[in-house]
Structure 1
Amino acid sequence: MNKKGEAAPPRLHRGDIMSPETRSAVMSRIRGKGTKPELAMEAGLSARGLVFETHARDLPGRPDIVIREARVAVFVDGDFWHGRDFAKWRLKLSEKWETKIAANISRDRRNRRALRAAGWKVIRIWERQVKADTARCVRRIMRACAESSEPR
């Protein structure tokens, strides 16, 4: 049953081809910090002369890139782990993975709200956006920094 009380559609996954131990070993090697999209964004921002820090522990969600002077927090999120277009592909996952990704989405939402409530501008950039046009993503952050420094 779904949240509306309707019968849920059948799951489409066919099971994992790896043993639980092998899958666990593979998944544990996936980076949480210093990913290629993050490094590409950091290089692009550095090239523009922007001063920033990474993975600020004192902020909700430990944003990937933080520009304190402009109060801009940037999350560079992996499409799978953070559920981009989750509604389209969630039924292909096992229940365990669907629950995990749904929890990530919920946590991301809480962190975004907490940052906004504290006066931060929050920018979420998806992995595929960085791969498609890193320069455009960099311009988006630069624009947000410029807007936050304008007098109100």
Structure 2
Amino acid sequence: MVDIFTPEKRSKIMASIKGKDTKIELMLRKALWNEGIRGYRLNVKLPGKPDIVFPKCKIAIFCDGDFWHGKDFDELKNRLNPYWIEKIQKNIERDEKNDTRLLKEEWIVLHFWESDIQKNLEGCISKIQRTIQLQE
């Protein structure tokens, strides 16, 4: 099966998707701020472009969209055409490569799924707090 849109239309659609300051990133950052958790930075030039970085503790945090980063991908791909299967598979492989690079540089890497941030924000914040405390 081929993409239903022309390459020009697909390009326009893909360009309109936000890469920074997404709803889930803003939700997580606001919760961190409300908990008094400071010291994080944004737009740090690291492999994978983490959404939130705690430089002193060397913690890189990613807020991963369920669809784009392949949550439950084995189940999801049964409902997708080959274009999306390939696209998401490449995203998963890229994420793994970036994690490996960060780990080699002794960073702690945390990934939070979009649905987990939305449904269990307190749990995400607790995990970040525990990780920070272990590094201090």
Same fold (TM over 0.5): yes
Which letter does structure 2 place at the counterpart of 1:148?
Q
Shift in Å, 1:93: 1.6
Q: Greater helix share, 1 or 2?
A: 2
Instruction: Find the aligned partners of 2:20 and 2:121 in 1 and give their Cα distance.
Output: 18
% identity of equivalent residues:
37
User: What is the number of equivalent residue pairs in this alignment?
Assistant: 134
Which structure has the larger Rg?
A: 1
Mapping of 1:1-152 within 5 angstroms?
A: 19-20=5-6, 21-49=8-36, 50-57=38-45, 59-149=46-136
Which letter does structure 1 place at the counterpart of 2:15?
S
**Consecutive unaligned residues in structure 1, runs of 5 or more:** 1-12
> Aligned-pair RMSD on alpha carbons?
1.7
Shift in Å, 1:54: 1.3
Which letter does structure 2 place at the counterpart of 1:113?
T
Structure 1 stretches of at least 4 aligned residues deviating more than 2 Å after TM superposition: 18-28
Which letter does structure 2 place at the counterpart of 1:31?
K
Instruction: Find the aligned partners of 2:11 and 2:78 in 1 and give their Cα distance.
Output: 21
Instruction: Find the aligned partners of 2:48 and 2:134 in 1 and give their Cα distance.
Output: 23
Shift in Å, 1:89: 1.1
Scaled by the length of structure 2, what TM-score is found?
0.90
Scaled by the length of structure 1, what TM-score is found?
0.81
